[in-house]
């Protein structure tokens, strides 16, 4: 039997500039590299993962595309204002923003462990940070006359989170922000949400629950029968910013191997 040949990656973002937040690690890094593979100049945002961001930028450049690094704590509105100015001053224009940054409270194994600090931290990043990014970058995209924004949400809005209720609340907030700014910015700037299911990122495989049976339990409950790496989901997420998704505004797209499917 002849070996399968991988399908060529379509250049959906040739000549465009894409900014990915939290691109130093995990899903953000995968999104940045995939955007470059599809022809984009990539803005690699980070807060504390400077080394990871440099590594992501190197991977982008190895694909033959430009990368630029920007740093900001997105939970600080003044920092986001400065970030937006920096990005537009440096790139001139921004075609796609991927709001990937989110805090999942990875150290929390039960709702009983919740603290006020943990609640504030998650909501500051997931809700306030996403809103600041939408507000500042979206308004500039409106001024330039085009743009697409992808908010990385979660399937936790379908099933809740008995582990970390504040995380579920944060992602519900992201969904509300998506619909609100989608209505405010349409049709000039399209805003949509992408909800990945469980992925085997470096952070996930280090979690206590992941190493003590949760991975196997989730696989047994997933119709696809496996947990993918972040690279496998990056192309699906970026679809929302492509011309093929031009009529999708305020949508919530799930990509989780059927885990959240009703009746599965």
Say if CB 102 and CB 170 are below 8 A apart: yes
Q: Assign residue 70 a region (left: φ > 0; alpha: ψ between -120 and 50; beta: otherwise).
A: beta
Say if CB 257 and CB 197 are below 8 A apart: yes
- Which position has the token pair 């039997």? 1
| All structural domains of the chain | 17-255 (3.40.50.720)
Tokens encoding 48: 């504390």
CA 112 to chain centre: 28
Give the integer Cα–Cα distance in Å for 103 and 92: 30
167 is catalytic: yes
Share of the chain above pLDDT 90, in %: 70
Q: Which pLDDT value is given to residue 102? A: 85
Q: Which pLDDT value is given to residue 222? A: 82
pTM: 0.91
Q: Which pLDDT value is given to residue 111? A: 86
Q: What is the mean pLDDT of the chain?
A: 91
pLDDT in tens, 215-237: 888 887 788 888 889 999 999 99
Q: Check 132, 167, 181, 259 and give the catalytic one.
A: 167
pLDDT-flagged residues of the chain (< 70): 1-7, 202, 204-206, 208, 210, 262-264
Give the integer Cα–Cα distance in Å for 140 and 134: 10
Say if CB 29 and CB 52 are below 8 A apart: yes
Residue 70, classed as helix, strand or coil, is: strand
Q: Which pLDDT value is given to residue 10? A: 87
Say if CB 227 and CB 259 are below 8 A apart: no
Q: Kindly give, in sequence order, each residue whose CB lies less than 8 Å from that of residue 111, ignoring residues fewer than 6 positions away.
A: 162, 163, 164, 165
Q: Kindly give, in sequence order, each residue whose CB lies less than 8 Å from that of residue 170, ignoring residues fewer than 6 positions away.
A: 102, 103, 122, 123, 125, 126, 127
pLDDT in tens, 119-158: 999 999 999 999 999 999 999 999 999 999 999 999 888 8
Cβ-based neighbour number of residue 110 at 10 Å: 10
Say if CB 43 and CB 83 are below 8 A apart: no
The number of residues making up the chain comes to 264
Closest residue by Cα to residue 30 from 97, 100, 91, 96: 100
Q: Which pLDDT value is given to residue 6? A: 57
Q: Taking the CA atoms of 16, 178, 190 and 87 in sequence, report the sign of the dihedral they define.
A: negative
């Amino acid at each position: 039997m002849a070996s399968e040949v991988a399908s060529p990656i379509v250049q959906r973002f040739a000549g465009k500039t894409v900014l990915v937040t939290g691109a130093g690690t995990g899903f953000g890094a995968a999104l940045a590299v995939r955007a470059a593979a599809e022809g984009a100049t990539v803005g690699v945002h980070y807060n504390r993962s400077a080394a990871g961001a440099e590594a992501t930028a190197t991977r982008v450049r190895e694909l033959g595309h430009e990368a630029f690094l920007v740093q900001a704590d997105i939970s600080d509105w003044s920092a986001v204002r400065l970030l937006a100015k920096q990005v537009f001053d440096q790139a001139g224009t921004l075609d796609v923003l991927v709001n990937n940054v989110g805090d999942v409270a990875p150290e929390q194994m039960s709702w009983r462990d919740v603290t006020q600090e943990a609640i504030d931290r998650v909501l500051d990043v997931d809700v306030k940070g996403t809103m600041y990014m939408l507000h500042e970058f979206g308004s500039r995209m409106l001024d330039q006359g085009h743009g697409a924004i992808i908010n990385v949400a979660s399937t936790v809005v379908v099933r809740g989170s008995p582990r970390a209720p504040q995380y579920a609340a944060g992602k519900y907030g992201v969904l509300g922000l998506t619909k609100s700014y989608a209505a405010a910015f349409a049709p000039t700037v399209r805003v949509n949400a992408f909800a990945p299911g469980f992925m085997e990122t470096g952070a996930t495989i280090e979690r206590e629950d992941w190493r003590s049976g949760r991975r196997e339990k989730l696989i047994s409950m997933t119709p696809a029968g496996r947990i993918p790496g972040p690279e496998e989901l990056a192309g699906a997420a970026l679809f929302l910013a492509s011309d093929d998704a031009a009529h999708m505004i305020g949508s919530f797209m799930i990509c989780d191997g059927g885990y959240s499917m009703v009746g599965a």
